[in-house]
Amino acid sequence: MAVYTHITDEALEAFLSDYDIGRAVAFKGIAEGVSNSNYLLETDKGRFILTVYEARVDAGDLPYFLGLMRHLADAGFPSAAPVPGRDGVALRSIGGKPAAIAMFLQGMSATRPDAALCREAGRGLAWLHQAAADYPATRPNDLGHEHWRAMFAPIAGAAEALKPGLAATIWGDLEMLERRWPADLPLGTIHEDFFPDNVFFKDRQFAAAIDFYFACTDALAYDVAVTLNAWCFEQEGSFNITKAQALIAGYEERRPLSAAERAAMPVLAHGAAMRFFLTRLADHANPAPGALITPKDPLEYERKLAVHRAGIHLFGFS
């Protein structure tokens, strides 16, 4: 959760004067998103979310993200369509920071999704991959596997402080991941943060996805692996194979995985756990100044790494 920027009523009024969406009748900061400030904006014409992009998001990437949101909405994928100003431009600024308005989406995220919801999540992820397939823009995955060594080097000491011996274990993982990382898997636009808080359900059916600010171009199966890690571990740390199979089955209703994608899944999931371990460890080692969020526990993903290190037989072979 995060609300960093205080928006005055004058600033809001000036900002809205460039839109054709009426006048504000309610405006509240909401606890959603970790790298942006989000506000519920109600006008006499409808309800919207105003997002103010904080320093953590590279402003140069915003046209890619907003373009993707526009593309997905146009393709019929249930997500928040950006609302352009009168001049047709969606990316604007408020209080000197980049900002954009999107439609308000109904839907509830699931705190502890069961296997049936995991299946729905898988179906939603495949739908997203299909809807984004002809999005023409690309963005390199700056948190992708080629970067993990460089991400770990400055925080190896923090890993060791967390748990003696962990730094050597991580270096070993990184070496293995480099050696075994699959080449030539189908690429596409991936969400890369398809976590339960970013997925809405309605009547236990997939209803929408939000928060596309990690989206990038990478292997589609890697996005499945990120999602498996986010949805299929139990709180006590075990991997729930029933949920994982349900998630994959839901995914394959829309987009069957190739044999190469299936074979790569264990190493992709190990790598996906590494990516979140590394960013959480970095946040833990260097908490953002002024952030109102408590850094997420890096040890959660250290435990997931350990599970993958021991090996998960997802499809009857590892």
Gap between the Cα atoms of 90 and 102, Å rounded? 9
Separation between Cα atoms, residue 165 and residue 108, nearest integer Å:
41
Query: Does 26 sit near its own copies (CB under 8 A)?
Result: yes
Query: Contact 139/216 with Cβ under 8 angstroms?
Result: yes
- For 25, the token pair is 């009748």
Binding letters toward its own copies, positions 108-127, x by CB under 8 A:
xxxxx---------------
Q: Contact letters (x/-) for its own copies, 169-208, by CB under 8 A?
A: ---------------------------------x------
Shorter beta-carbon distance to its own copies: residue 26 or 89: 26
Q: What angle do CA 309, 238, 190 make, to 5 degrees?
A: 70
The closest alpha carbon to 255, from 229, 223, 230, belongs to 223
Minimum distance from residue 140 beta carbon to its own copies (Å): 32
- Are the C-beta atoms of residues 153 and 167 closer than 8 Å to each other? no
303 with 229: CB under 8 angstroms? no
Q: Name the minimum Å distance from CB 156 to its own copies.
A: 30
- The interface mask with its own copies, positions 268-297, x = CB under 8 A, is ------------------------xx----
Q: Closest approach of Cβ 162 to its own copies, in Å? A: 21
Size of the site for its own copies (CB under 8 A): 28
Nearer to its own copies by C-beta: 16 or 185? 16
d(CA 144, CA 274): 10
For its own copies, the binding residues (CB under 8 A) are 1, 3, 8-10, 24-32, 40, 42, 104-112, 202, 292-293
